[in-house]
Structure 1
Amino acid sequence: MVIDEGGNGVEMQSPPDDSSETPGLSRKSTPRKLRRVDSMELESIRVTGMENHGFPKLFSTKTTLRLAFQTIGVVYGDVGTSPLYVYSSTFPNGINTQHTNQDVLGALSLIIYTLTLIPLLKYVFIVLRANDRGEGGTFALYSLISRHAKVTLIPNQNLEDRKLSGYKLDLPNKVKYSSRVKQKLETSRLAQVLLLLLALIGTCMVIGDGVLTPAISVLSAVEGIKVQATSLSQNVVVIISCVILVLLFSVQQLGTDKVGFIFAPCVFVWFMFIGLIGLYNIFKYDAGVFRAFNPKYMYDYFKVNKKDAWTSLGGVVLCITGTEAMFADLGHFSVRSIQIAFTALVYPSLLSAYIGQAAYLLKHPEHVDQTFYKSIPGPVYWPQFVVAVIAAIIASQAMISATFSIIKQSMALGCFPRVKIVHTSQKHMGQIYIPELNWFLMVACVIITAAFKNTTQIGNAYGICVVAVMVVTTSFLTIIMLMIWQINIFLALGFLIVFGSIELFYLTSVLEKFTQGGWLPLLFAGIFLAIMISWYYGNATKYKYDVKNVVSTEWIMDNLKVTRVPGIGLVYTEVAQGIPEIFSHFISNLPAMQSVIIFVSVKHLPVANVLREERFLFRRVGRKQHHVYRCIARYGYQDATEKNETFEILLLDWLAHFMKAEALETEQPLDNSQSQTGEITVSIYPSKVLPLDQSSIQQTSVIESDGVEAELTFLAKAKQDGIIYILGHSDIKASNDSSILKKILINYAYTFLRRNFRESVVSLDIPNKKLLKVGMSYQI
């Protein structure tokens, strides 16, 4: 493979269109003139042997059971503590004693089938299968769709980014409706905008869950003390709840792994408690309560109560709060571990708890406001109260962890301002902690708890978040079924109709309580949606301007007569093609640069992980004697960026290997068989990275000429002279002829976010003594 030093119009062997063929092997192809300009399409197919990358890791039985135990404390705390407040929220005005049986059995029947259809059938057996290489959440679904159709609106995505093993999927034979869905999505700008907007809305609702879950769970548990201590005022209950919330968020920095093992035994005891107490209540009060499994009681419930029954759905839906955490927290665990925990422990315990409470209410309907605590047998009240408070505290962990995960995904894909990401586990890269978000959630939870003071209004707000996220998930999953899984179209439409109608029915009920606290999650969602849209729009607009105003390679060739000083200059730029305008601004005002210049573009792609072997793409800019290169560093949305020192070592080692591979490809002649068949062997990067020093230069295993050996020596010397980071800092404003909306988004919203959130310097972990910032102002 011959690489033209100027980067334009080279006669080369074109890679095959069939992406399923393993790159790097000898292949037949016809020569064609590639209009490469500054693309890295050919460089991106160097890596081989990665066919199995990206598929969810297979854990041993021991590890799976260990993770399943951890999920009890991290994932299922929220849905597990719902029995604390479901019946009181379903009947906020009490049960009509004239038709107690119809009301109690009807509500129980709704709870049974809601719990069975949504968490068990939809999420455990269907949604978890739609993971993005082991990652879950709204953005994971959006990423999965984006990899199968050109629908992503995320800037800085090029053809070479699809030359990743993470993109290579085994798909069944295409069917007509699948191709039509894909074509419709790719040709409709409106559909693409709606997909991104749905992803952002789903993300905002998960954040709303993260705020409301701790407030309602802790407050509902602590309120139980008033059953025995009747003289205790509600204000004292609120103060106790706020103190517990502060302590909860303070331990988040320990990480999901440690928190999971601390919390899991407590929640396990909780599930055993509620399951056994449920069985006790069933056989003590009314074993005939099992007739609620007959769906006829749902019909009777609506027939008798009419609008009141529809309104009560806002309370019934709280029995599935935290269900989305099963999917959003998937990156912390595994599909099988989550399935085992839910089907073996969580689901049967919850059914027993709700059925037992219903049996108690058939005899004591007047206790509906404190159903959970009133139904506890006297001798185990205080032990159960302690466990309930602990479980409620832990319940918050599910949505807190999910919020961390989904914010990291949205930030990596350019839809959220930069925040600090702390990886808390070396074993599981999905386990993270975000300090800024953690303290924001804590303050918001304390304010909501102190302001509302009761679970009724918080529950009204909570239901909107829960159902809205589920509607988004159902919409995305239907597209995945049609376009990716390519299942029978009637099954896909049946999924949409069944689950979509159920969720929309619930959504109409919870929206009816907008003035009774339902406005709160919409307020949070609106704030975060405005932040995300402003950040995305600002980044996308700035990127388009930067691409439009890149400087040609010829320009830098003409200006390389500037003074070259010893060392390596890493010029960070968001554009992956051409010379960034800010660099021309730099050398025009200061005509000097390092002896080795590397234009570095850090890109986050809509895949969960990028292998380290596929991390870097290199290309030469100009002639060899200029020592100017382009590097693209690619990361998935779940990848952790390396520390500064590690990144330097990896980048320069791969650059050295690029030089060696280039020498092999340009100097090894084709034999007669290759000439006759038109086949060519494309070299690959070595699977093991060797440190860049004199010994590695002398012991290289590829064919080297004096030229490449001299170039490697020059690179090693430049490394010893020191590395400097050149980073552009642009102040942008909307042009005078821009619309008012654009001026508001760019001049105020985007500028405010850039100034008040972390700079790229912090996220890249660049030490100040190595940093050179180049400022520039322009209008877009």
Structure 2
Amino acid sequence: MEPQLTAPNQFKETWKHTLLLSFQSLGVIYGQMSTAPLYVFGTLTADDITSEETVYELFSFIFWTINIISLLKYAFIVLTADDNGEGGTFALYSLLCRHAKVGLLPNESSANDVMHYETGSPFKIKAESRARRAIEKLRCGHYLMLFLALFGSCMTIGIGVLTPTLSVYSVSSGIQRSLSDISHRISASEKEREAISRALEKYVPVSTASAILVCLFTLQHYGTRKIGFIFAPIIIVWLFFIGGGGVYNIFHWNKEILLATSPMYMYRFFRNIHSKSWRSLGSIALCVAGSEAMFTSLGHFRRKSIKMTFVCFIYPVLVLSYAGQAAYISKNLDVRDFNHLSQSIPKQMRHWFVAFSLLASVVGSQATITACFSIINQCLALGCFPRVKVIHTSDKIHGQVYIPDINWLLMVLSLVVTIGFHDIVKIGSATGLAVSSGMLVTTCLMSLVIALYWEKSLFESVCCLIFFGSIEVMYVSACMLNFHKGAWYLVVLLALSLTIMLSWHYGTKKKLEFDIQNKVSAEWLIGISPGLGVTRVPGIGFIYSDIVTGIPAFFSHFITNLPAFHQVLIFVSFKSLPMPYVPPSRRYLVGRVGPRNFKIYRCVVRYGYCDPIRDTDNFEEQIISSIGEFICMEENDFDFQNSSEGRMVVIGNPPADGTGSALIPLNDTNSYEMECVSMASNETLSPLGDAIESGFTPVMRKKVRFMLPPNSPQMHVSVREELQELIDARESGTAYFLGQVHLAVRDGSDILKRLLIMTYVFLDKNCREPPVALNIPHAALVEVGMVCCI
């Protein structure tokens, strides 16, 4: 059995914590599902509901869709396929990458054995099976899986744009109707009442919805925990309100609506099917909006809390609410706006309803926004999204993140939808297509997980795909009939976001392929040094590269033109594994490049797609401490990983207090470092003497100094000498080498390749700097540029 990885600082889940997370989840995850009654029937036109029998049929669809999709599929099946506590389409894709050789992400084509090395490692590929062998040989299937993962992520982003607009706009329409009723009572003439109604209908919903959306997105920086505590009481009151209203309507208007839970009414619907009635199913698909957020937001909470909250509270309240609304509609088909939830509330409670619905609509949008942050964080770590700033809002649950750039982008896109469409039917059509398409992608990936990860029979996998997939295909087809009514906007949004993701993935992969094809062996560096008369400059040089074996092309280019490098060289590579977390004890893979006297080391830093991006303020010290541990372990003949360059060993995150370390850290915040001035590598470079003379200037910077442990008979003299040389080099100063590969398109390339490369170049120039360069002083940075023609 494989060891399970856990998130750092993850607390033990007791019943107290479960109840606490369940309470918070009400305000974050279930806001969308609880506010869906505002617009499920509301996005249907009066022509779609022509008789009491039609109401029974539509409610039967709602009841069984919630039972099959939300309850059975998500609460009892999909939630169990988490990737060490993380959910979403990329979590399913990462499970497939880890347990079958289907990955196409850039990090998986480079030195896979070194990356996944460890005895009893959780990165180990499972034993071969017939289904696994078949899918591994089918190369087009690998591309299809990656496309499905990206497509599902784009649908999550689309839902994050459309759902806030839909929920807020539906409430704004209710406010407009209430103001119209008031104006009718105080206006003297029919002409005045009509003029006021037209003005209210034109300006109130759009302006109110826009103001609410701005307030909602402004609150996001407080984080999931605070927002959950703020929003959860609102959702609880709202659920009791609509649940109680549902019970009242059932007993007051039509108790026979409960008979519509029979699937016979769905059969009657199919028996008398036509294009108009089939199109109405696109609105019914909205009753399960928010189900995908249960899985996507799994990293913000825990499986037990999410499932318990849905089964014990959300599910029964939603069924009662929809049943009550259907009971009212079935007996009030002649009432104006009979299909809106506010009309089914007794008049004496209607003003309270408008107030609560306004607050609940704000909360209802939170689930999709949170899901967007989670899925983009996963895409970002796996090289499928441009670099953006990710803020971790919790020190206990690292899945709770906030992405400022995405937050404001979602706000702008939501405002564009609100102002551009100002029609709940059109917005509902686009939202229904996004919801049903996203669920269909999850079903496809889930069927593969059943076969390749759970190792169930192919029959069970196919049954899952056919059973759930057929229902979701039905809803997708119904939504496509509303393409001209607003669903086209989702297609435009999909094309834009998918182009960005595919371009970034393609450009990242091509850059890595260029590095791999143009790298040189370690023997080249060792052999060319005497011939070029290479000068060893005092200090430490950190060479950051995406490759984990060999010498990167940009550094060989630098050495050829300027034959000098530091007394100690450390090749550093950051590699994201297709899993959410890498424990600190397995984070660093350290080895030696070349003979001992060259003092050249390699450090591979492995992290999961939900691990926080490392902080460069203390990262340099962690690398040096890890190399110190490696030097001691190497002398004691520990079990090393053999590579083409030598031996490598897994080093854990060194203790902060230096206990048990080969090097003891001493905090010294007033130390001066001699750091290399930034320079660019061009065709002609300044002479070596000038570079050495003018390339080092004192820079005030906080730094951790090191000292050797007291004399110990267990430590060999040569080990102490090498450690002392490492400390002396650290004291002399540090320089950081970064390679900049600039992509260019060859003449005669096809249009698709030109589009992808041009998009990638534009994004690369305008997005956030690479994490490794964020906190490096400019005076210590050396950037070497190279051009890669594709």
TM-score bracket for the superposition, by shorter chain length:
0.7 to 0.9
Q: CA deviation at 1:170?
A: 11
Does the alignment pair 1:254 with 2:222? yes
Matched residue, 1:770: 780
**Secondary structure of the structure 1 residue equivalent to 2:324:** helix
Question: Contact 1:461 / 1:521 at 8 angstroms: preserved in 2?
Answer: yes
The match for 2:664 among 693, 712, 717 is 693
| Counterpart mapping for 1:140-151 below 5 A | 140-151=91-102
Distance in 2 between residues matched to 1:212 and 1:586, nearest whole Å: 50
Matched residue, 1:434: 403
Does the alignment pair 1:579 with 2:589? no
- Provide Cα deviations, 1:399-419, integer angstroms capped at 9, x if missing partner: 111111111111111111111
Question: Contact 2:164 / 2:364 at 8 angstroms: preserved in 1?
Answer: yes
Distance in 1 between residues matched to 2:774 and 2:282, nearest whole Å: 45
What TM-score, normalized by structure 2, do the two folds share? 0.86
Identical amino acids, percent of aligned pairs: 41
Matched residue, 1:400: 369
Does the alignment pair 1:627 with 2:599? yes
- Amino acid paired to 1:223: S
Q: CA deviation at 1:444?
A: 0.6
Matched residue, 2:56: 105
303-312 vs 649-658, which moves further = 303-312
| Counterpart mapping for 1:195-344 below 5 A | 195-230=145-180, 231=197, 232-344=200-312
| Counterpart mapping for 1:373-412 below 5 A | 373-412=342-381
Distance in 2 between residues matched to 1:57 and 1:626, nearest whole Å: 45
Closer/same/farther in 2, CA of residues 566 and 264 from structure 1, 3 Å limit? same
Question: Contact 2:626 / 2:652 at 8 angstroms: preserved in 1?
Answer: no
**Secondary structure of the structure 2 residue equivalent to 1:607:** coil
The match for 2:326 among 340, 345, 358 is 358
Matched residue, 2:678: none
Distance in 2 between residues matched to 1:420 and 1:702, nearest whole Å: 48
Question: Contact 2:118 / 2:650 at 8 angstroms: preserved in 1?
Answer: no
Does the alignment pair 1:598 with 2:598? no
Distance in 2 between residues matched to 1:700 and 1:453, nearest whole Å: 77
Does the alignment pair 1:708 with 2:708? no
Q: CA deviation at 1:730?
A: 2.2
**Secondary structure of the structure 2 residue equivalent to 1:730:** strand
Distance in 1 between residues matched to 2:298 and 2:121, nearest whole Å: 20
Does the alignment pair 1:732 with 2:743? yes
Closer/same/farther in 2, CA of residues 550 and 72 from structure 1, 3 Å limit? same
Distance in 2 between residues matched to 1:731 and 1:687, nearest whole Å: 34
- Amino acid paired to 2:762: F
- Provide Cα deviations, 1:92-129, integer angstroms capped at 9, x if missing partner: 53522xxx221111111100000111011100000000
Task: Flag structure 1 segments of 5+ consecutive residues without an equivalent.
Answer: 1-19, 22-50, 669-681
Distance in 2 between residues matched to 1:421 and 1:521, nearest whole Å: 26
The match for 1:515 among 484, 503, 508 is 484
Distance in 2 between residues matched to 1:550 and 1:496, nearest whole Å: 44
**Secondary structure of the structure 2 residue equivalent to 1:216:** helix
- Amino acid paired to 1:378: K
Matched residue, 2:672: none
Does the alignment pair 1:506 with 2:475? yes
Distance in 1 between residues matched to 2:314 and 2:780, nearest whole Å: 53
Distance in 2 between residues matched to 1:120 and 1:93, nearest whole Å: 31
Distance in 1 between residues matched to 2:773 and 2:569, nearest whole Å: 22
Question: Contact 1:87 / 1:369 at 8 angstroms: preserved in 2?
Answer: no
**Aligned residues: CA RMSD:** 2.4
**Secondary structure of the structure 1 residue equivalent to 2:551:** coil
Does the alignment pair 1:645 with 2:617? yes
Distance in 2 between residues matched to 1:58 and 1:102, nearest whole Å: 52
- Amino acid paired to 1:181: A
Distance in 2 between residues matched to 1:701 and 1:410, nearest whole Å: 48
**Secondary structure of the structure 2 residue equivalent to 1:619:** strand
User: Aligned pairs, how many?
Assistant: 712
**Secondary structure of the structure 2 residue equivalent to 1:773:** strand
What TM-score, normalized by structure 1, do the two folds share? 0.87
The match for 1:470 among 439, 452, 467 is 439
Distance in 2 between residues matched to 1:776 and 1:653, nearest whole Å: 32
Question: Contact 2:176 / 2:204 at 8 angstroms: preserved in 1?
Answer: no
Closer/same/farther in 2, CA of residues 762 and 245 from structure 1, 3 Å limit? farther
Question: Contact 1:618 / 1:629 at 8 angstroms: preserved in 2?
Answer: yes
Closer/same/farther in 2, CA of residues 372 and 737 from structure 1, 3 Å limit? closer
Matched residue, 1:12: none
Question: Contact 2:392 / 2:400 at 8 angstroms: preserved in 1?
Answer: yes
Distance in 1 between residues matched to 2:129 and 2:419, nearest whole Å: 53
Question: Contact 1:281 / 1:360 at 8 angstroms: preserved in 2?
Answer: yes
- Amino acid paired to 2:482: K
Distance in 2 between residues matched to 1:462 and 1:403, nearest whole Å: 15
688-697 vs 282-291, which moves further = 688-697
Distance in 1 between residues matched to 2:621 and 2:787, nearest whole Å: 33
The structure with higher relative contact order (CA 8 Å, sep 6+) is: 1
- Amino acid paired to 1:194: L
Matched residue, 1:61: 15
Distance in 1 between residues matched to 2:582 and 2:124, nearest whole Å: 18
Q: CA deviation at 1:489?
A: 3.9
**Secondary structure of the structure 2 residue equivalent to 1:87:** coil
Matched residue, 1:11: none
The match for 1:569 among 541, 549, 562 is 541
Matched residue, 1:443: 412
Closer/same/farther in 2, CA of residues 657 and 82 from structure 1, 3 Å limit? same
Distance in 1 between residues matched to 2:340 and 2:537, nearest whole Å: 77
**Secondary structure of the structure 1 residue equivalent to 2:340:** helix
Distance in 2 between residues matched to 1:696 and 1:328, nearest whole Å: 47
- Amino acid paired to 1:779: C
Distance in 2 between residues matched to 1:396 and 1:315, nearest whole Å: 18
Distance in 2 between residues matched to 1:182 and 1:64, nearest whole Å: 37
Matched residue, 1:758: 768
66-75 vs 579-588, which moves further = 579-588
Matched residue, 1:530: 499
- Amino acid paired to 1:630: R
Closer/same/farther in 2, CA of residues 59 and 340 from structure 1, 3 Å limit? same
Closer/same/farther in 2, CA of residues 330 and 702 from structure 1, 3 Å limit? farther
Q: CA deviation at 1:487?
A: 2.7
Distance in 1 between residues matched to 2:308 and 2:509, nearest whole Å: 42
553-562 vs 423-432, which moves further = 553-562
Closer/same/farther in 2, CA of residues 482 and 515 from structure 1, 3 Å limit? same
Question: Contact 1:617 / 1:632 at 8 angstroms: preserved in 2?
Answer: yes
Closer/same/farther in 2, CA of residues 568 and 209 from structure 1, 3 Å limit? same
- Amino acid paired to 1:292: A
Question: Contact 2:247 / 2:324 at 8 angstroms: preserved in 1?
Answer: yes
The match for 1:745 among 734, 753, 756 is 756
Does the alignment pair 1:181 with 2:115? no
- Provide Cα deviations, 1:374-406, integer angstroms capped at 9, x if missing partner: 111223222221111111111111111111111
Matched residue, 2:30: 76
Does the alignment pair 1:493 with 2:462? yes
Does the alignment pair 1:95 with 2:63? no
Matched residue, 2:340: 371
Distance in 2 between residues matched to 1:451 and 1:684, nearest whole Å: 55
Distance in 2 between residues matched to 1:285 and 1:503, nearest whole Å: 32
Does the alignment pair 1:720 with 2:698? no
Distance in 1 between residues matched to 2:118 and 2:53, nearest whole Å: 58
Q: CA deviation at 1:469?
A: 0.8
